[in-house]
């Protein structure tokens, strides 16, 4: 069914009747192309209401790492649905959540061992920031309430997460008046920048609660890569200035960059890590903020004021936790990291023809992330439509055309995606 792009029907009734009541993400609704009505997914394929089938190049914003409708996850969720879809986590605990907490603690590096569950990547970051700020308050250090974050970074769309994102790359330039001002600086990706960050941290003294970074790949801010040395430098600087280090692995976690967690490539562990997206294999919204023993110990007290006052209604949702446990089973039973390595080789080889094409600034690959950066893209909607014509779903943004497929994608499907990228890039300036 791949590549079947022939239209068969008019849009279904539910589409016409509901579209004017739905508010889509990141879109100027007046001018944006209307969304494509989807009726089914399977593996790496999206079936549209009119019968067309698209190969999915981005796995639903990097969540569906095992492909859609993965049977092991579906069965685990169906079983959990019969038994208990959800119960509040305040004063109650359940097996899927505690099992997942134990498994994450075992898999994560260092002594990241206390798991706080929430429901989205943005909230996982909010919780990480709140945890870091209160860590210092609980220890009687009142001034450490600010954050150092990086240009090109993106940490989510909630207020705290916006404040530590690069305003331009993070799409939040309008809100300068609303957001608490943080220190958004250059990544220490060379000696000079490392020295500048060292100097800044010395000047800021005991005002910094934590440094927050997306390890190895700054995703939504432009799919920019940096090497593991950056993370090592950040660990050294955080220790030197006695501040906490937060890794936002909402995008990179669960294999995307080639190791289960991106920070493994650097052999360093943060004090707090934020996880979401592929945590449930793209089936249900769930997130986790995981703290080390050192951070947790600052909250362990007879004083009720030292408790972390946070608790989303759907925290540790049992369906989400069942999906996440099933997803972890698949990382154990299926050769996911080998698949990522194979995808990386195929992306490198098959996107290489884009290098040197007119208008192409860079072609780069890290794990199962393939990027063609253009000098500029004039009409994103037109470009997105050209991909659909090629039988694939790919969603360029800014100057970036990228592929982040499911790890279970077949070689033929992946070739369809890379061919589409090469064809579309070739057509842009021809
Ligand atoms: C690194 C990073 N952090 C946080 C977020 C926010 O996650 P969510 O969209 O689930 O709120 C994203 C989303 O793209 C992300 O890439």
Instruction: Give 245-298 pLDDT, tens digit per residue.
Output: 999 999 999 999 999 999 999 999 999 999 999 999 999 999 999 999 999 999
Tell me whether residue 191 is one of the annotated catalytic residues: no
pLDDT digits (tens, 9 = 90+) for 98-127: 999 999 999 999 999 999 999 999 999 999
Contacts 24+ apart (CB under 8 A), 355-363: 357/425, 357/426, 357/429, 358/428, 358/429, 358/430, 359/425, 359/428, 359/429, 360/425, 361/399
Q: Is 281 in the pocket of ligand 1 (CB under 6 A)?
A: no
Match 């996440």 to its residue by tokens.
324
Of all protein residues, the one whose alpha carbon is nearest to atom 7 of ligand 1 is 121
Q: Is 215 in the pocket of ligand 1 (CB under 6 A)?
A: no
> Does the structure show a pLDDT above 90 at 171?
no
How far is it, in rounded angstroms, from Cα 213 to Cα 371? Answer: 20
Pick left, alpha or beta for residue 277 (phi over 0 → left; psi -120 to 50 → alpha; otherwise beta): left
5 Cα: distance to centroid of ligand 1 (angstroms): 31
Q: Stretch 335-362: mean pLDDT, rounded? A: 98
202 Cα: distance to centroid of ligand 1 (angstroms): 30
Nearest CA to 223 among 399, 84, 83, 45?
399
Q: What are phi and psi of 392, to 5 degrees?
A: -135, 155
Tokens found for residue 145: 């309430």
61 Cα: distance to centroid of ligand 1 (angstroms): 9
Tokens found for residue 120: 């989205």
> Does the structure show a pLDDT above 90 at 168?
no
Say which residues have a Cβ less than 8 Å from residue 416's Cβ, sequence separation at least 6. 2, 3, 55, 390, 391, 392
Whether residue 39 contacts residue 49, with contact meaning beta carbons closer than 8 Å, is answered with: yes
Q: If DSSP states are collapsed to H, E and C, what string results for 59-113? A: HHHHCCCCCECCHHHHHHHHHHHHHCCCCCCCCCCCHHHHHHHHHHHHHCCCCEE
Q: How many CB atoms lie within 10 A of CB 312?
A: 17
Q: What are phi and psi of 26, to 5 degrees?
A: 45, 45
**Confidence at 173, pLDDT banded by 50, 70, 90:** confident
**Based on C-alpha coordinates, what's the Rg of the chain?**
22
Please provide the size of the chain in residues: 430
Active-site residue, selected from the candidate residues 68, 119, 135, 154 = 154
How far is it, in rounded angstroms, from Cα 142 to Cα 298? Answer: 14
Angle between helices 380-389 and 411-428 (to 10 degrees): 140
Whether residue 321 contacts residue 96, with contact meaning beta carbons closer than 8 Å, is answered with: yes
Strand partners, 290: 115, 273
Q: Is 249 in the pocket of ligand 1 (CB under 6 A)?
A: no
Q: Is 275 in the pocket of ligand 1 (CB under 6 A)?
A: no
| Burial group, residue 305, by CB count within 10 angstroms (0-12, 13-18, 19+) | exposed
CA distances in angstroms from 202 to 139, 148, 191, 222, listed in the order given: 21, 12, 16, 30
What is the share, in percent, of the chain residues with pLDDT greater than 70?
97
**Confidence at 1, pLDDT banded by 50, 70, 90:** very low
How far is it, in rounded angstroms, from Cα 132 to Cα 210? Answer: 6
Tokens found for residue 53: 């089938």
> Does the structure show a pLDDT above 70 at 136?
yes
Whether residue 34 contacts residue 19, with contact meaning beta carbons closer than 8 Å, is answered with: yes
Active-site residue, selected from the candidate residues 248, 271, 350, 402 = 248
Q: What are phi and psi of 402, to 5 degrees?
A: -140, 155
Match 């993106």 to its residue by tokens.
154
Tell me whether residue 154 is one of the annotated catalytic residues: yes
122 Cα: distance to centroid of ligand 1 (angstroms): 6
| Burial group, residue 28, by CB count within 10 angstroms (0-12, 13-18, 19+) | exposed
**Confidence at 185, pLDDT banded by 50, 70, 90:** very high
| Burial group, residue 201, by CB count within 10 angstroms (0-12, 13-18, 19+) | buried
How far is it, in rounded angstroms, from Cα 429 to Cα 407? Answer: 32
Of all protein residues, the one whose alpha carbon is nearest to atom 14 of ligand 1 is 220
pLDDT for residue 174: 85
Q: Is 120 in the pocket of ligand 1 (CB under 6 A)?
A: yes
275 Cα: distance to centroid of ligand 1 (angstroms): 9
Nearest CA to 211 among 177, 191, 186, 174?
186
Tell me whether residue 189 is one of the annotated catalytic residues: no
Q: Stretch 221-229: mean pLDDT, rounded? A: 97
Tell me whether residue 135 is one of the annotated catalytic residues: no
How far is it, in rounded angstroms, from Cα 133 to Cα 309? Answer: 12
The per-residue DSSP string of 121-187 comes to HHHHHHHHHHHHHHHHHHTT--S--EEEEETT----SSHHHHHTS-TTTTT-GGGTTTSPP-EEE--
Q: Is 63 in the pocket of ligand 1 (CB under 6 A)?
A: no
**Confidence at 10, pLDDT banded by 50, 70, 90:** confident
Specify the DSSP class assigned to residue 37.
P
Tokens found for residue 324: 């996440």
Strand partners, 397: 400
Specify the DSSP class assigned to residue 33.
P
């Amino acid at each position: 069914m791949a590549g079947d792009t022939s239209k068969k029907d008019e849009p279904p009734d539910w589409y016409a009747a509901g579209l004017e009541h739905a508010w889509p993400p990141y879109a100027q609704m007046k001018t944006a192309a209307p969304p494509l009505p989807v009726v089914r997914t399977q593996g790496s394929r999206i079936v549209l209401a009119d019968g067309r089938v698209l190969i999915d190049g981005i796995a639903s914003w990097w969540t569906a790492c095992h492909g859609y409708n993965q049977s092991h996850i579906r069965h685990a969720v169906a079983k959990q649905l019969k038994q208990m879809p959800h119960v509040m986590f305040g004063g109650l605990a359940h097996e899927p959540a505690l099992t997942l907490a134990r498994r994450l603690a075992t898999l994560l590096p260092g002594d990241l061992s206390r798991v706080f569950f929430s429901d989205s990547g943005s909230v996982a970051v909010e919780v990480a920031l709140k945890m870091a700020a209160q860590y210092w308050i609980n220890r009687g250090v009142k001034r450490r309430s600010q954050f150092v974050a990086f240009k090109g970074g993106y940490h989510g769309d909630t207020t705290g997460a916006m404040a530590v994102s690069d305003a331009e790359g993070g799409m939040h330039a309008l809100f300068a008046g609303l957001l608490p001002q943080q220190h958004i600086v250059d990544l220490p990706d060379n000696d000079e920048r490392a020295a500048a960050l060292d100097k800044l941290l010395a000047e800021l003294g005991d005002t910094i609660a934590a440094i927050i970074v997306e390890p190895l790949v700054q995703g939504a801010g432009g799919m920019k890569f940096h090497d593991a040395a950056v993370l090592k430098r950040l660990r050294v600087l955080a220790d030197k200035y006695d501040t906490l280090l937060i890794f936002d692995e909402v995008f990179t976690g669960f294999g995307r960059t080639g190791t289960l967690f991106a920070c493994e490539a650097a052999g360093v562990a943060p004090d707090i890590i934020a996880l979401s997206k592929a945590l449930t294999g793209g089936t249900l919204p769930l997130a986790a903020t995981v703290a080390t023993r050192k951070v947790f110990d600052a909250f362990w007290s007879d004083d009720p004021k030292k408790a972390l006052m946070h608790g989303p209604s759907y925290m540790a949702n049992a369906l989400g936790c069942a999906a996440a446990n099933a997803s972890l089973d698949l990382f154990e039973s299926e050769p996911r990291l080998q698949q990522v390595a194979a995808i990386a080789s195929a992306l490198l080889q098959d996107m290489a023809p884009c290098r040197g094409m007119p208008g192409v600034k860079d072609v780069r690959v890290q794990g199962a992330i393939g990027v063609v950066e253009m000098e500029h893209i004039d009409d994103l909607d037109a470009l997105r439509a050209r991909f659909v014509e090629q039988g694939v779903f790919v969603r360029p943004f800014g100057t970036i055309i990228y592929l982040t497929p499911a790890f279970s994608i077949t070689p033929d499907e992946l070739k369809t995606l890379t061919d589409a990228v090469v064809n579309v890039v070739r057509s842009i300036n021809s």
